[in-house]
Chain A
Amino acid sequence: MKEIIRITIALTLSCLLAGLVIGTTFIFTAKAKQHNEHLNVQQTMLGLLGYGPQRPAAPELQLHQVHRYIVKHIETMRMGYMLPARCSGGGPGYVWVELDLNGEFLDRHELALTPEAALSADDRKKALAGILDPGAEADFADTMIIACLGDRRTAYLLPGEFPGFKTFIKAMVALDADFQLLGLEVIEHEEDPGLGGEITQDYFKNQFVGKSFEKIKRLTVIKEPLPPDYERYLKSMGLGNSGLSESEAADIRQRYKEQDIHALTGATISSAAVTNGVKAMVKKFAYRIQILDQALADGDVKVLF
């Protein structure tokens, strides 16, 4: 009995000590880590839109963040959208729009939220608390980013996560205004290095580029080796030094446009996970944005995008 107590105490103390060390490290590193992640996401977004060190972003480029919420309203459920809009003062602000589950416009409120404050989940929660009916609860669902040049929508950026081989894969997908896929970037993953970890490689993720919405809806993986010319094209995409002439590249693009995704050698599960994840993200988004646009038109809500 005494032994058990000693073991329990020793193990508890070790766990506390370990917790203390990890906790302290977390406190000291959290801010820098968050900052890095933010920078990383920012860079990924610009990269997906085709901007980079050689090609700085156009000054009139605007990235509007739209936050989606699920609102529990005593008995019923509603969808809530936090949308960037011009507020009554004339400056940029946010407006809250509620839809019912059939996508019908229900209600709108102006939010006391600046674009900077809208980036923080806590500030958004505070702003929401002021306008929600008592008893209603809003749970954050996801964020999408609408890229505009002037007042023209050029692209949608969808951050999301889906299950991979072992745990969740965080990724971002870029679509153009017709939901054609502009690019895929893996932000964070824990697939096995050398096998599933290859999902971050250009020759895998660039296979998604240029797939039409119709194709994405039916996208699957095939277990066939990547043809050498296609691989060379995928690896050189966006680098501009492929050794392929314009017409050759266009020919390859045309030839493989309707092709499914070639699975990675030894990592079919990871490949299929990414393919299905992207497919689901795009399908759901296309469905939602159409409903949202319709509802905004019905409710006569003027938004910035």
Chain B
Amino acid sequence: MAATTKTNTQLVVNGLLNENPIFRLALSMCPAVGISTTVANGLLLGVAVLFVQVFSSCTIALIKDHIHPRIRIPTYTLTIATWVTVIDLVLAAYLPVAYKAMGIFVRLIVAFAIITMRLEVFACRNTVAASFWDGVGMGFGFMFGMVTLGAVREVMGMGTLLGYDVLGFRPMLFFVLPAAGFFLVGFMMAMFNYVETLYNRRAKRGS
């Protein structure tokens, strides 16, 4: 893949919709299935991924010419691990309140497929600026996916939204369990594909 020709806005939208990490690329399914049980959990993990993705993408884009092609993957992992540790330490030192809520999410990120994949596919072939916007897009795309899943699972599983009781009863406890994550991700993927087909058909008719 050659360097991208997309504008910054296109890069962000690309991460949110066309190449949404969860619903289109089907990457990082572990956290998507395991952790998206509530809106708050999804949002916090999304924020953590956003930061690590942006920092790692920029770092790799900056040093891409010096990476030996045979040790790309170790270098990516090292970069991600470094940023995760740095963010973890800084949060613990200067933002103890945020750390209390986000600490466990940040430490979980080291092994996320989506970040490594974005470094491999995008950051090591593009400029720092483009990688930054791609990172932002992917981060928000992941966050969007997690929050959507979290909202459905929280309402259906526990009858609450953001911790507030909205239904007054629990429709199906099943939605909180990990297995339900798979069903829901599959369902969402189908929806994304359906909307895309509709869109393409309309675009064809229009032309």
Give the interface of A toward B (CB within 8 A). 3, 6-7, 10-11, 14-15, 18, 21-22, 25-26, 28-33, 36-37, 39-40, 189-195, 197, 265-266
User: Are the C-beta atoms of A22 and B82 separated by less than 8 Å?
Assistant: yes
CA gap between A266 and B180 in the complex, in Å: 12
**Residue among A11, A14, A36, A197 making CB contact with B93, cutoff 8 Å:** A36
Query: Is B74's beta carbon under 8 Å from chain A?
Result: yes
* Chain B 81-92 per-residue mask, 1 if CB under 8 angstroms from chain A, else 0: 110011001101
Q: Quick one: closest B residue to A8, CB to CB?
A: B71
Candidates B35, B74, B79; contact of A11 at CB < 8 Å: B74
**A190 B104 Cβ-Cβ under 8 A:** yes
In the assembled complex, 21 residue pairs joining A and B whose CB atoms fall closer than 8 Å, in A order, are A6-B68, A10-B71, A11-B71, A14-B75, A18-B82, A22-B82, A25-B85, A25-B89, A25-B90, A29-B89, A29-B94, A31-B93, A33-B89, A33-B93, A36-B96, A36-B99, A190-B107, A193-B105, A194-B35, A194-B36, A194-B41
Q: Which of B113-121, B127-135, B171-179, B193-201 contacts A (4 or more CB under 8 A)?
A: B171-179
Contact at B173–A265, with CB atoms within 8 Å?
yes
What distance in Å separates the Cβ of B168 from its nearest Cβ neighbour in chain A? 12
Q: How far is B113's CA from A228's CA once the two chains are assembled, in angstroms?
A: 39
Residue B160 interfacial (CB < 8 Å): no
Asked if B78 is at the interface (CB within 8 A of a chain A CB), the reply is yes
Residue of B nearest to A36 (CB): B96
Q: Is B108 in the interface zone, CB < 8 Å from A?
A: yes
Whether A193 pairs with B35 at a CB distance below 8 angstroms is yes
Interface size class of B (residues with CB under 8 A): 35 or more
For A190, the chain B residues whose CB sits under 8 A away are 104, 107
Name the CB-closest residue of B to A228: B170
Q: Shortest Cβ distance from A127 into chain B, in angstroms? A: 29
Contact present for B70 and A7 (CB under 8 Å): yes
Q: How far is the CB of B55 from chain A (nearest CB, A)?
A: 11
Q: Which residues of B contact A37 (CB under 8 A)?
A: 92
Inter-chain residue pair count (beta carbon < 8 A):
82
B37 on the A face (CB < 8 A): yes
Which B residue's beta carbon lies closest to that of A198?
B37
User: B92 and A265: CB pair below 8 A?
Assistant: no
Set B41, B81, B173: member contacting A18, Cβ < 8 A: B81
Pairwise interchain contact A197-B177, C-beta atoms closer than 8 A: no
A10 to B63, CA, bound (A): 12
B176, A266: Cβ atoms closer than 8 Å: yes
Report chain B residues within 8 Å CB of A10.
66-68, 71
Instruction: Check if B35 sits within 8 Å of A266, measured CB to CB.
Output: no
A195→B30 CA distance, assembly (Å): 13
The 8 Å CB contact of A15, one of B45, B78, B90, B105, is B78
A10 to B73, CA, bound (A): 13
* Neighbouring B residues of A3 by C-beta, 8 Å: 70
How far in angstroms is the closest Cβ of chain B from A245? 21
- The interface residues of chain B lying within 8 Å CB-to-CB of A40 are 96
| CB pair A265 B89 closer than 8 Å | no
Are B104 and A189 within 8 A (Cβ)? yes
Give the distance in Å from the alpha carbon of A6 to the alpha carbon of B170 in the complex. Answer: 60
A265 near B104 (CB under 8 angstroms)?
no
Q: Is the Cβ of B89 less than 8 Å from the Cβ of A21?
A: no
Q: Mark B35-63, 1 if CB is under 8 A from A, else 0.
A: 11110010011000000000000000000
Contacts A29-B93, A193-B45, A194-B38 known; A265 to B176 CB distance under 8 Å?
yes
- Checking B70, B82, B104, B105 against A21 with a beta-carbon cut-off of 8 angstroms, the contacting residue is B82
Closest to B66 in A: A10
Minimum distance in angstroms from B90 CB to a CB of chain A: 6
Determine the distance from Cα of A3 to Cα of B71 in the docked complex, in whole angstroms: 11
Q: Is B34 an interface residue (CB 8 A)?
A: yes
Assembly CA distance A276 to B94 (angstroms): 34
Residue on B nearest A37 in the bound complex, by CB:
B92
Complex A-B, nearest 8 residue pairs according to Cβ-Cβ distance, in ascending order: A29-B93, A32-B93, A194-B37, A18-B82, A36-B96, A33-B93, A10-B68, A29-B89
A239 to B44, CA, bound (A): 26
Docked CA distance A36–B90 (Å): 12
Residues of A within 8 A of B85 (CB): 22, 25
A29 close to B90 (CB less than 8 A):
yes
Q: Chain B: which residue is nearest A20 at the CB level?
A: B82
Contact A26 B89 (CB under 8 A): yes
CA distance A132 to B81 in the complex (A): 43
Interfacial chain B residues near A191, Cβ < 8 Å:
104
Q: Least Cβ distance of A113 to chain B in Å?
A: 29
